[in-house]
Amino acid sequence: MTTFIEKVNLFVDEAARLLNIKQDQLEHLKTIHSLIKVNVSVVIENEIKNFTGWRAVHSEHILPSKGGIKYSPLSNQNETEALAALMTYKCAIVDVPFGGSKGALRIDPKKYSKKQLKSITKAFATKLINKDFISPALNVPAPDIGTSAETMEWIKETYKSLRTSDINYRGCVTGKPIHAGGIEGRLEATGRGIEEVVREFFRNPKLINQLKLNKQIKDNRIVVQGFGNVGNNLSLELYNRDNAKIIAVGEYNGYLFNKQGIDINKLYKFFKKNNHINNPKLGKFINKPSEVLELDCDILIPAAMADTINETNMNNIKAPLIIEAANSPITYEADKKLNKMGKIILPDIFVNAGGVIVSYFEWIKNLSHIRLGRLEKRYTESKLLEVVRLIEKITNTKTDDQTIKRIVQGANERDLSNSGLEDAIRLAFNEMLEIKMKLNISFRKAAYYLSLMKLMKFYKKNTLVK
């Protein structure tokens, strides 16, 4: 089986051939720009603990470079470099002006207390900051698997203590708590972005007819593998905004199944309280986690680990539409097979871009030092109220107070964040769709084609030092 970085580069090579990109330019574009590997030593319970960490920068064609920091016992350099590359291509697709980067620490965060994790994080951050691998102008991390908004706040505190004269210190990370400079909507952004992808897909009758799906999202059976931050927020958005019928939700130890559809609001509350999804009141729990991918459904959304759809189960995948919420959930070989089977796969480098889109808005907020919507909210409300009063006067009618309040309400930070997210997703989807239809290629190949087409404007020989 191909490695993660090999798989990414194979997809890049396929798109590059369609664009006739010269080999030397292509190799320059694919190569990791810089990489730091550090040893993090922290005294825990009178014993020195050592952790290996990485921060890879794939591109600096636009600064800063952007990408999350992952805490996992399985973290390694190959994966970190691959994820950094994906960030480059992802940002280009959705027109977010960042280069690509990624960080990782080989650690099982579940084995350490909050106090210990804070010390480990600050030690790791110090190493990266001192080498300029964290900076609001150069390299901006965000949460990933094993890290959180609180982790980002610890990094921000460390940066502030080391760079005391940088007034933009809040912009050194995104995905922070609101009180620490975060933005409304960031926590849910990746999940909501995936839901916007689903919505945009169903605005295209030709695609729906090609897969023989029902015209409305709510009339299709959906399976979500993974109920972490991405999976549960995605499920909540689908359930509450689209009345979606989610028949199964998978986790590491099994999946919850209900052919009538699971009440996601109740499942979310149960999961938050109990840290598992085995609730017999909401469905039948089946202790065979891999089977969830093979269920008879209309839409399959793998939102867990990489390579979960592979050579062992690819022939058993029944869903005609697969939406990659996780990073690289389908192997290179399985991707080829599924396309031959007539499946449509919406690729990770586009589908899960919601996080970096809203991170961009947070970074802008931090550098501008003003909350989004603060300048125009009340002005917009007063002008809309004037319009309502004018209509009332002309029509000799009276509008009730609740309706007026709903109509004239100006956009707050969350409204603007969600609006910007929807705009980026919809524009990118239709750019990809146009390429797909024109060249008769898969969505994945169209995504990489679109990304390279935009990136090659920056990767020209006359931009290099001679």
Give catalytic residues, as residue numbers: 102
Would you state the structure tokens that stand for residue 363, as one six-digit string? 């970074």
77 CB-side CA count, 13 A: 7
Give yes or no for a contact between 282 and 263, defined as CB atoms under 8 angstroms apart. yes
User: What is the enclosing helix (H) or strand (E) of 52?
Assistant: strand 47-57
The token pair at 383 is 């002008």
Q: Is 110 exposed, middle or buried (0-12, 13-18, 19+ CB in 10 A)?
A: exposed
Q: Is the preceding peptide bond at 329 cis, omega within 30 degrees of 0? A: no
Place of tokens 């990809």: 432
**Whole-number Cα distances in Å, 22 to 16, 199, 278, 460:** 8, 37, 53, 11
Q: What is the DSSP string of 54-75?
A: EEEE---SSSSEE--EEEETT-
SS3 state at 50:
strand
Q: Going along 109-230, which residue ranges are E strands?
A: 139-140, 221-225
Helix (H, G, I), strand (E, B) or coil at 149: helix
What's the distance, CA 447 to chain centroid? 15
Strands (E), 258-328: 284-286, 299-302, 321-323
Give the pair of three-digit tokens for residue 221: 């059976």
Separation between Cα atoms, residue 441 and residue 444, nearest integer Å: 8
Question: What single-letter amino acid sits at 324?
Answer: E
Cross-strand pairs, 105 = 53, 71
| Token pair listed for 373 | 């919507």
- Report the amino acid identity of residue 338: L
Radius of gyration of the chain (CA): 23
Which position has the token pair 């190799």?
27
